[in-house]
Structure 1
C-alpha cells in the first residue's frame, strides 16, 4: 500500500535512494566494528573489546532506525550483503593489524565519512524534497555519529 503522507513519489524515491546508501554505510560500519570487537588484541584488550561492543550496539539501533525510516516513507530497505556492498561509500579494512588504535583509525574515518554524507543530505531532504521528517531524522543521526567519532578520537593524543 502506498504511503500517502504529503510527499510526491519522485521525492520519496530520491530520499529513499540516499537513505539506502546510508543504510549500507551503517551496515558496513557495524560489521567492521563487530570485527574490531572480535579480533582486537593488545595491552588494552578488555577496554577496547568493551568499547567496540558499545559502539556496535549503537550502530545496530541506527541500522534499524534507517531501515524503518525508509518504510515510513513507503519504500523497502535493501537487506542483502550484495546490495550493501554496491551502495556503500565505505571500504573494507586496508592494511591493518588487530591493535585497538589501528581499528579505531579506520572506524573514525568511516564515522567522519558518514557524517559528511549525512550533512550533505540534510538541506536537500528538507528544501528539495520537502521531506522535513527525514531531514530531522538524519540530523539526529549526525549527532550520534559525531559523539561516536569523538569517543574514538579521544583515544588519540
Structure 2
C-alpha cells in the first residue's frame, strides 16, 4: 500500500538513510558501552560498571525507536553488523582501554551520535517531519547530557 503522510518518497528515503546512520552509530555505541561494562577495572569499577550498564540499556531501547521510525517512513532498517560498520561514524574498539580511556572513548561516541543526529535536522525540517525532528531532539539532549556527565568524571 502506498504511503501518504505528506512527505514525498524521495524525502522519506533521504530521512530514512540519515536515520540509518543514526541507528548504526547508536548500535555501535551500544556495543562499545557493553564492552566497557564487561571489561572495566580499577578504583572506579563499581561506578563505571553500573553507569555503562545504564547507558547500554538506554541505547538498546533507542535503537528500537530509531529503527521503527525508519520503518514508519516506509524503508527497511539496517540490522546487520556489516551494514552498521558501513554506515557508522563510530569505529569498533580494537583494544581494551583503561577506565579513563573508556570514559574518553564513550564521550567521543556520544558526541559522534550528537553530530549525526544534528546533521539530519535540515532534511526533517525542510519537509516538516516533526516526528523525526522530535526523535532527533530527544537523542541530542540525552547524548549531550551523557557526554557532559562522563567528561565530569575526568576532572
1:72-151 equivalences in 2 (<5 Å)? 72-93=72-93, 96-97=96-97, 99-127=98-126, 129-151=127-149
Measure the CA separation in 2 of the matches of 1:147 and 1:61: 17
Which secondary structure does the structure 1 equivalent of 2:83 belong to?
A: helix
Cα separation, partners in 2 of 1:132 and 1:40, compared to 1, 3 Å: same
Measure the CA separation in 2 of the matches of 1:27 and 1:95: 18
1:115-154 deviation line (CA, Å, top 9, x unaligned): 1221122133112x44232122211111111111122111
Specify every segment of 5 or more residues in structure 1 that has no aligned partner in the other structure, as ranges.
Answer: none
Q: Does structure 1 conserve the Cα–Cα contact (< 8 Å) formed by 2:42 and 2:99? A: yes
Measure the CA separation in 2 of the matches of 1:62 and 1:40: 23
TM-score of the pair, normalised by structure 1: 0.92
Deviation at 1:8, TM superposition (A): 0.5
Instruction: Give the count of matched residue pairs.
Output: 155
CA RMSD, 1 decimal: 1.4
Measure the CA separation in 2 of the matches of 1:40 and 1:15: 37
Deviation at 1:79, TM superposition (A): 0.6
TM-score of the pair, normalised by structure 2: 0.93
Deviation at 1:29, TM superposition (A): 0.3
